[in-house]
Structure 1
Amino acid sequence: MRTLLNLIWLVLSGFWMFLGYVLAGIICCVLIITIPFGIASFRIANYALWPFGRTIEVHREAGVASAVGNVVWIIFAGWWLAIGHIVSGIALCVTIIGIPLGIANFKMIPVSLIPLGSRIVPAG
């Protein structure tokens, strides 16, 4: 079932969100000081491409640097990506088949806003 959902996701939403995260990662890596944001963006791009069967684990003890970095990320890239998830999630929820995909889009909003201090782990 995960594979089927991932394939449908890839066609309807995953590829476009993947491109958004890759673009954000490239821009962050070009600006040398924001390379940690670029690495986080590439990590989330992989998750956005194939999300079913994996989940997000948030580490509350990530530290002050992670919190400051997340604020900077929200200002420059996070809200754009979150809007992308909201728009595609609403569009997917219009059909019955798309409802699980729309819900998956909504579940990705927190990691798109706060990528530092989060890990993507296999769902268990």
Structure 2
Amino acid sequence: MIRLILNVFWLIFGGIELALAWWVAALVFAITIIGLPWARSAFNIGLYNLWPFGSEAVRRDDYSGREDMGTGALGFIGNIIWFLLAGWWLAIGHILIGIFWAITIIGLPFAYVHFKLVPITLFPVGMRIVSKDASIRPYPPRP
């Protein structure tokens, strides 16, 4: 119940706008064709922004037990390109907004979400959004 309330407040105080912005970015990436790997990543971040409480970002290969293009060498290269072009400044934005929310004290849950978004904003390729309630994953995480 608390997750639902926090998610509703998150949506009211900017979550919908953040999710829509990421989905517009995903659409722009998809239109360029060369940006398709980042389109999927931007869509995932938008999904994460829509309902962050009770969700987490995990590596797709850890979740499914098998590698794909986004979790291998190409995913690594895609993450490096993302980091250099956009990831670092987007992460700084989430950190600064998180600090602002943390200062307000009542905004600590929102600060937590912004800090939780930093890793996926830095390196989104090969990530998947899953429910925290999904305690059983198809395959155990790799060592």
What range describes the TM-score normalised by the shorter chain of this pair? 0.7 to 0.9
**Structure 1 residue aligned with 2:96:** 87
Overall identity of the aligned pairs, in %: 40
**Structure 1 residue aligned with 2:83:** 74
* Aligned counterparts, 1:12-91, within 5 A: 12-58=13-59, 59=61, 62-91=71-100
Greater percentage in helix: 1
Between the aligned partners of 1:28 and 1:73, the Cα distance in structure 2 is: 12
Asked if the contact 1:79–1:113 (Cα under 8 Å) also holds between the matched residues in 2, the reply is: yes
User: How far does residue 3 in structure 1 lie from its aligned partner after superposition?
Assistant: 0.7
**Larger CA deviation: 6-15 vs 56-65:** 56-65
User: How far does residue 17 in structure 1 lie from its aligned partner after superposition?
Assistant: 2.3
**Larger CA deviation: 2-11 vs 84-93:** 84-93
Q: Which has the larger radius of gyration?
A: 2
**Larger CA deviation: 33-42 vs 57-66:** 57-66
Between the aligned partners of 1:115 and 1:64, the Cα distance in structure 2 is: 14
Q: List alignment gaps of at least 5 residues for structure 1.
A: none
TM-score normalised to the size of structure 1? 0.87
Asked if the contact 1:13–1:88 (Cα under 8 Å) also holds between the matched residues in 2, the reply is: no
Asked if the contact 1:20–1:81 (Cα under 8 Å) also holds between the matched residues in 2, the reply is: no
Between the aligned partners of 2:99 and 2:27, the Cα distance in structure 1 is: 27
Q: List alignment gaps of at least 5 residues for structure 2.
A: 134-143
